[in-house]
Amino acid sequence: MESRVMLGTIREFWHDQRGVAMILVAIMLPVLIGFALLAIDMSRANSLHNDLQKGADAMALAMAGELDGRADSITRAERVALNNLIANSHHFGENDSPETILRDSGVTWRFLRSIPPSDDTAIRAQDVITDKITDAKNAIFVEVTVTPVGFDAIFPASFLSASANNSFNVGATAVAGFEQSICETVPVFMCNPFETTTPATSKTIQQAFATGDTYSREFRILKVDSNPGPGNFGLLDNNLQSLRDAIAMGTAGTCYNRDAITTKTGVTLGQVSAGLNTRFDLYSGSLNKYDKDWNFRPATNVRKGQKSNTCNKYDPVTDGSALPLPPGANYNSTKGYSDKITNASTFYAQYWSVNHKGASVPNIPSTSHPTSLTQPASRYDVYKYEIANGLVADKSKGPTNERGTPSCFKGDNPTLDPDRRLINLAIVDCLANADKINGHTQLKPDGYASVFLNTPIAKVNPNDDPDGTGAEMPISLEIVDVDGPLGNGALDKAFRNEAQLYR
């Protein structure tokens, strides 16, 4: 009887499900606690990595912003790095109480001239710049590496890794690069007039400018042919349907990378001249509808040796009663430029007497020379002197009686800034890139230059239609600034500097 009662009790106990949750909770509680600890650890580790990565990204971007191709770019980048190290900190690493300055964790960096095309490929030895002084101009990228920081896990890390002390390391790496682009430029390139077939005797446009070799020379350029070289110009790919309008307005409708431009083929006769001549208050038949449009306004000083009632083409007078800025002496067609001006009083004597009531040439400072104010004044300096001293409205001799003030444009009065007689264009080593000039090909320019237009462009035959395909005289210009540290700095304002992360 007792055994039967006992068996019944055991049977009831076996089938009784009250309190089963307690057993399940007892079994699952360690698992739940473990997952909670793991979630906390993952959150802390993620926050630590986020702090380190943001610090590396910020530092790489700041340093890359200084890599502008100048000789002191690496020096400036490392100065920025030291300031950036103090400004960034991280949390949740070992001994972070309450936070650790990034500098104290250990940060290294190296400058790169290139990076592999694929992010899956590690930085190669040939990418790294080892001589920070000699190769500073070639630094385009910087790689920043944060020394891995120890992380103490609450969840037993030995389950996840070989670490026996429940800790592991968290690090970060970032690669940033510098890029320059220019938007305020016409879709035209000019062959480097100082390039030769012998690299040892060639000069970059920046070197020639810095030594004063470009100053006061007249440069003449014609459309490239089958043998491009000094004295030629060509076209760049652009996003505007009308090349003429792009040149007239001074924008290509796109921005060009400082180190990569794409050439464009096409006929330019009539388009380049018509576009440039709007800056001299001349509106050919295809452009006379824009003689009120601000985008096609002339410069404030358009003296060009022509009757003021001729508005559709450049046809200078031949009786000497009005004169444009004088051409250079001893023009060298193989180099594309003339001699420098050696005596301003002699060189400008006739120009000044005819256009300014018989006066003698004043003492005009050489304000656009890279190093001196006492050189014989360039045409650009004479042009600016006329504006600064209220001489633009002076009448030339009769019967032409030309003034420098525009009379054909019917819109609002033009402003001094930006100067419409200045255009920005790319400079290309045409001899070295001869096989790329006449095709739709990407190439690296030697640099960019700001050039002053000396005179409008005339047709070889004055009776030809300005918009037609008749042969044209070359573009006459002076180089007044170049990009980079060897220039006067004005052209650099047209560049847009961008630093971006690549890895």
Give the residue extent of every domain in the chain: 31-181, 183-496
Highest mean pLDDT among 85-89, 155-159, 169-173, 177-181: 177-181
pLDDT digits (tens, 9 = 90+) for 185-211: 888 899 999 999 887 888 999 999 999
- How many whole angstroms separate alpha carbon 77 and alpha carbon 63? 4
CA dist 449 and 207 (Å) reads 12
Concatenating the DSSP letter of every residue in 203-218 gives: --HHHHHHTTSSTT--
Q: List for the chain the helix, strand, coil content (%; round to 5).
A: 30, 20, 50
CA distance 191 to 431: 8
User: What local confidence, expressed as pLDDT, does residue 159 receive?
Assistant: 47
Lowest mean pLDDT among 39-43, 224-228, 357-361: 39-43
Confidence category of residue 342, pLDDT binned at 50, 70, 90: very high
Q: Supply φ then ψ for residue 113, to 5 degrees.
A: -90, -20
Please give the structure tokens belonging to residue 187: 């879709």
Report residue 469 as tokens. Answer: 């395909």
Q: Which helix (H) or strand (E) holds 495?
A: strand 495-501
Token pair recorded at residue 262 = 């794409």
- Asked whether the predicted pLDDT for residue 382 surpasses 60, the reply is yes
The more confidently predicted of residues 485 and 15 is 485
Q: What percent of the chain has pLDDT over 90?
A: 33
Q: Is the pLDDT of residue 158 over 50?
A: no
Indicate the residue type of 217. R
385, 348 Cβ separation under 8 angstroms? no
Highest mean pLDDT among 14-23, 43-52, 131-140, 364-373: 364-373
End-to-end CA distance of the chain: 83
Condensed to tens digits (0 to 9), the pLDDT of residues 216-226 reads: 999 999 887 77
- For the chain, what is the mean pLDDT? 82
pLDDT of 247 reads: 87
User: Stretch 443-458: mean pLDDT, rounded?
Assistant: 92
Instruction: Assess contact for 250 and 188: CB atoms under 8 A.
Output: no
For residue 316, give the amino acid letter: P
For residue 167, give the DSSP letter: E
Q: What angle do helix axes 20-64 and 73-87 make, rounded to 10 degrees?
A: 150
Confidence of residue 283 (pLDDT cuts 50, 70, 90): very high
**62: three-class secondary structure by DSSP:** helix
* Calpha distance 252→189 (Å, rounded): 12
Query: pTM for the whole thing?
Result: 0.76
